[in-house]
Structure 1
């Protein structure tokens, strides 16, 4: 698509952005929303900026990285001079393609350059097969197959690299050969190199081809030649336009309010556009391309109309119980580590103090003291299990959505193997694969339909539980943690430490309350067949 003088120039951010949001952002008649400051979002931006500055500082000290001052002209000057590493590159806008953007780092290879991102997230996992080069020798020629790492599935990184590559090509300084790009992640010890022309995407597509398709679509939307309509998706939670879209969707009683984005599209294609139409659909109906359970989607629509937050989809609600029970909730700080393991011990007496037990480090993460706090948690936890065995009592532990807890349960032995008392990863794995470890989120998902979402903050109030802190939530706890430990060199705030502990205690008491309710009152909820 050829552009005109009025064609907007789009940056890499549009590629993963909601299509309707792109339209609103480029519609001169759209009323821009007034969004209050989001401390969590501002902090994420500050963290990304600090990480970028740190990595570029290390590279500059080691290799004399050339800063591309002066925008596109400065970047072109650095490219002409043949600098080995160019930081802060602002590539010339490609007005014919409607494209603009920048890239944190350009690395010279042979007769040209490759783009490199500096990301504030982890880019690899334990495994093998990733193509990496050490940060001490970041060049592509130094990259090889890593026997200890596998690449994480960050599709957004590859699409951003494809955007940078398409901007680099018209300058004449793109490295000859296949399109490639690198990413330096949170650990900042390697460059993970991606082949953007490898057929590793669904359907045998390449990252470059996927990017080209998405960019052409977003450009058509931004120029007004392709229309869109709002539809609720995961990204709506943080979108500044959500208040406007939400109002419109609610007025229209749109099906996306009770189904996932793709399934909502399939329903509309089949002529089912509203919650009322979905609720009136027979349970035996079939919708081509619908990936979820249509019967459950119909029941959710009926629950929404009945203003029922939770309904049963089983005849009898069951939850595994034991003589002695421990509720577990972990608090982490992004990818930096897990600083708090909160446990609630209830049930038959075993000679250990019942109630809430926090195992915490207040050293700013990442810190080796995280290993010490984990060992203390595991030792206490193991003692509870041992005493239950000795006394002939059954034992179970509970969490809400085990993915987060399991991640840090399994990674702690790997990251802190030399801390005295650290269990082996095999020991931890045996526990989480046993019937002693119960994910209440899975229990809820299997037995209930939740018209307003399945998060603990949504479901536990149905069981009569409430948090003491009116601002209780994961995003806010991140901010409290920063203040609690004086992250980034600031003053520490002991009151925020107390606040975090209260919040964590309420989380484990919430899962206990939910479990008790599921064992008793939950069977009084309406069944989906009754709606």
Structure 2
């Protein structure tokens, strides 16, 4: 079996992915999508920027012939070249071939089998901070390099995006690396596939996601429940709560003593399980966590609504209904610090009309223009509430106001009109959904985006492609997606009002 740094990195992120990449049927793995290809392009660009600082050589060997690569790398090290790009270091451990290919091997003064110099490993990553997996892989590369040059490297470096070079504490991470490598080898040689755990932020770009999600869904796995992190799942396993039904019947007091369930999280998680088991939303007292107890679990003859009747009082929702309502959503490119689309849906309930406005910056220079156009529109409706989903829109309005010198007396009344539908929703109800993201909740309510593949990340990809190609169909796709986000926010807000009014 071959173990390389990339496989080790994937193992730290997800044991199941590393196992399937090694032992699974690769024909079942989905090909890389646009977003993953975009990240790979960004990593290549970052790598190119770093490499421009070094006079490097690359070992010459037939592709995939690691032994020839290791020999060519050793020859360059013996020559004392300044730096080596993608050098190959190879060693054998029992029946495991260990392979290391650091981004760079950089020559330093010191002692090694080559003379009065040695090399240190340096890896180039797209991440902005020195993640655990980066540092363990750096320790792995350092240990392999120590074998090749018969001397411990003085240090290891990480070249991160938007950061100066980061020095890895090898004394700290090498012992942890030994444990991780041993666990990785044991897992990959096992006949048992690691348990599925869905973490959407990490899983969405993985080629095995559809397969893993289907398995998690069939198991009603707790990782599909909002609020269940890997650490919390481990704590639930320790008390033998490993499925939805037992969690829904658990008294929150049982979980309160667990480290991951403090601060009301126990009640939140139990409520979430109850909502999913009952396949029904649960009303919360406004601004407070609902105190779950076994006596409040509905019987088969009692609905949740009947159970709560006379005990819980819905919040005042007057602020959620107005003659004219605005729904606001933004598309942004963080790498450019650019908000390129400010979308507003104007709903006139008196006239029974709705109109969508897309203020689109076709280049970074146009951001100021669309900010002014946005203000001109919303100021036409000074009494209208501005609904949005999550805090980004408010934070962006503050940023744009500061950047383009908007007077405070204009900004203050504007900010007072914003209503965060996400915040209001999570204070009022618990939903039988896998997350509280706009797409998940709106789709649960029956709303569908015209382009099912559209997303915030996809919008960024389209905008980057627009800047490269000038293809206006990409802008059309972005505008359509943004309009659907505004419509979904309206759909959710309207449902929330009707749900509260039903009590």
Query: What is the TM-score normalised by the length of structure 2?
Result: 0.74
- Structure 2 unaligned residues grouped into runs of 5+: 62-68, 111-117, 286-312
Alignment of 1:276-295 (within 5 A): 276-286=245-255, 288-289=257-258, 291-292=260-261, 293-295=265-267
Q: Distance in 2 between matches of 1:405 and 1:74?
A: 56
Q: Distance in 1 between matches of 2:2 and 2:383?
A: 68
Deviation at 1:81, TM superposition (A): 2.0
Query: Per the alignment, do residues 496 and 279 of structure 1 end up closer, same or farther by CA in structure 2, a change over 3 Å counting?
Result: same
The answer on whether the counterparts of 1:440 and 1:511 sit within 8 Å (CA) in structure 2 is yes
Query: Per the alignment, do residues 467 and 8 of structure 1 end up closer, same or farther by CA in structure 2, a change over 3 Å counting?
Result: closer
Query: Per the alignment, do residues 163 and 494 of structure 1 end up closer, same or farther by CA in structure 2, a change over 3 Å counting?
Result: same
Q: Deviations over 1:32-87 (max 9, x none)?
A: 5513434225523541464156326633xxx5322233322222222222222222
Secondary structure (helix, strand or coil) at the match of 1:327 reads strand
Q: Distance in 1 between matches of 2:400 and 2:97?
A: 47
The answer on whether the counterparts of 1:329 and 1:405 sit within 8 Å (CA) in structure 2 is no
- Please identify, of 237-246 and 272-281, the stretch whose mean Cα deviation from structure 2 is larger: 237-246
Q: Deviations over 1:197-227 (max 9, x none)?
A: 58xxxxxxx4445444433322221233998
- Pairing partner for 2:34 from 10, 17, 40: 40
- Pairing partner for 2:85 from 84, 87, 101: 87
Query: Per the alignment, do residues 120 and 405 of structure 1 end up closer, same or farther by CA in structure 2, a change over 3 Å counting?
Result: farther
Deviation at 1:191, TM superposition (A): 3.7
The answer on whether the counterparts of 1:115 and 1:181 sit within 8 Å (CA) in structure 2 is yes
Aligned to 2:14: 18
- Pairing partner for 1:260 from 229, 236, 241: 229
Matched, 1:446 2:440: no
Deviation at 1:501, TM superposition (A): 0.9
Aligned to 2:45: 51
Query: Per the alignment, do residues 182 and 49 of structure 1 end up closer, same or farther by CA in structure 2, a change over 3 Å counting?
Result: closer
Query: Per the alignment, do residues 208 and 380 of structure 1 end up closer, same or farther by CA in structure 2, a change over 3 Å counting?
Result: farther
Aligned to 2:125: 119
- Pairing partner for 1:219 from 165, 185, 202: 185
Deviation at 1:522, TM superposition (A): 2.5
Q: How many residues are matched?
A: 447
Aligned to 2:491: 513
Alignment of 1:93-492 (within 5 A): 93=91, 95=93, 99-111=98-110, 112-121=118-127, 123=128, 152=129, 154-172=131-149, 176-177=153-154, 179-185=155-161, 191-197=164-170, 206-224=172-190, 228-234=194-200, 235-258=202-225, 259-286=228-255, 288-289=257-258, 291-292=260-261, 293-308=265-280, 310-314=281-285, 315-316=313-314, 321=320, 326-333=326-333, 335-344=335-344, 346=346, 355-362=355-362, 369-370=363-364, 372-383=365-376, 393-394=382-383, 396-403=385-392, 406=395, 422-423=404-405, 435-450=416-431, 451-463=433-445, 465-485=447-467, 487=468, 491-492=469-470
Q: Distance in 1 between matches of 2:385 and 2:134?
A: 40
Deviation at 1:274, TM superposition (A): 1.8
Query: Per the alignment, do residues 274 and 411 of structure 1 end up closer, same or farther by CA in structure 2, a change over 3 Å counting?
Result: same
Secondary structure (helix, strand or coil) at the match of 2:101 reads strand
Q: Distance in 1 between matches of 2:214 and 2:445?
A: 29
Secondary structure (helix, strand or coil) at the match of 1:103 reads coil
Deviation at 1:244, TM superposition (A): 4.3
Deviation at 1:413, TM superposition (A): 8.7
Q: Distance in 2 between matches of 1:427 and 1:98?
A: 64
Matched, 1:73 2:71: yes
Query: Per the alignment, do residues 116 and 404 of structure 1 end up closer, same or farther by CA in structure 2, a change over 3 Å counting?
Result: farther
Secondary structure (helix, strand or coil) at the match of 2:88 reads strand
Secondary structure (helix, strand or coil) at the match of 2:103 reads strand
Q: Distance in 2 between matches of 1:165 and 1:432?
A: 57
The answer on whether the counterparts of 2:142 and 2:153 sit within 8 Å (CA) in structure 1 is no
Q: Deviations over 1:152-200 (max 9, x none)?
A: 46444333323322322222276754x3313142x5xx642224258xx
Q: Distance in 1 between matches of 2:408 and 2:104?
A: 42
Richer in helix (by share): 2
Aligned to 1:496: 474
Structure number with bigger Rg:
2
Secondary structure (helix, strand or coil) at the match of 1:285 reads helix
Aligned-pair Cα RMSD in Å? 4.0
Secondary structure (helix, strand or coil) at the match of 2:255 reads coil
Q: Distance in 1 between matches of 2:4 and 2:122?
A: 22
Q: Deviations over 1:317-372 (max 9, x none)?
A: 567558675433222346344352223153789xxx9843333333xxxxxx41x3
- Please identify, of 239-248 and 99-108, the stretch whose mean Cα deviation from structure 2 is larger: 239-248
Q: Deviations over 1:447-499 (max 9, x none)?
A: 332322111112124555432223332344344334433x3xxx432222212
Query: What is the TM-score normalised by the length of structure 1?
Result: 0.70
Q: Distance in 2 between matches of 1:181 and 1:343?
A: 43
Query: Per the alignment, do residues 409 and 173 of structure 1 end up closer, same or farther by CA in structure 2, a change over 3 Å counting?
Result: farther
